Amino acid sequence: MFKPFPSIRHDQRGDSIVEVLIALAVIGSVLTGAFVATNRSTVAVRDSEEHAQALQLLQGQVEQLRSYVQQTKFSAVPNKFCFQPDGTLKITSTPDCPSSTVEPIYSFMIDRTNAAVVPPATMAFNVQVTWNAVTGNPAQESIMYKIAGAP
């Protein structure tokens, strides 16, 4: 009798369904773990980018504050305010000056600290930015800025 494939025995069988299911479960677990790790890494990178952008925008507010204080008298500086994107001053009691209409929207507020805390010829400001972070929670950064030598 002629056998076309003499090396294959007819009593050999393929993988059972249980073996295939176990292999699929292992592959699924590995892929799920890789997806979760990649997703967490992506969120962490985006969160870091948002904080870096917030700090850059805060530095811009501080520069506008420095320029504004040099042009006006110390007594003319309001207690709570912010600079709008066009550079105009807005007096506000909440973070109410948005950076733009593109997400995430950063909102600013500059709070002049109590004059009793600092020396008489010095003004201190708390420059704050808030936004809704990629994680879905509100985030905030702030910088304390002191200006010495009242005119």
Helix (H, G, I), strand (E, B) or coil at 20: helix
143: enclosing H helix or E strand: strand 138-148
Residue 52 has a pLDDT of 93
**pTM of this prediction?**
0.72
Sequence ranges of the domains in the chain: 17-148
93-106: pLDDT as tens digits: 888 888 877 788 89
Residue 85 has a pLDDT of 84
Smallest CA-to-CA distance from 59 within 130, 143, 148, 150 is with 143
Say yes or no to pLDDT of 151 above 60.
Answer: no
Task: Give the span between the Cα atoms of 142 and 109, in whole angstroms.
Answer: 9
29-39: pLDDT as tens digits: 999 999 999 99
Task: Give the span between the Cα atoms of 113 and 98, in whole angstroms.
Answer: 22
Distance of CA 50 to the CA centre of its chain: 3
Q: What is the mean pLDDT of the chain?
A: 83
Q: Render 62-111 in DSSP notation, one character per residue.
A: HHHHHHHHHHS-GGGS-SEEEE-TTS-EEE-SSS-EES-SSSSPPEEEEE
109-129: pLDDT as tens digits: 998 876 555 566 678 889 999
Number of DSSP helices (H) and strands (E) in the chain, helices first: 1, 6
Residue 8 has a pLDDT of 61
Residue 29 has a pLDDT of 97
Q: What is the band of 55 on the pLDDT scale with cuts at 50, 70, 90?
A: very high
Q: What is the band of 9 on the pLDDT scale with cuts at 50, 70, 90?
A: low
Give the residue with greater pLDDT, 88 vs 7: 88
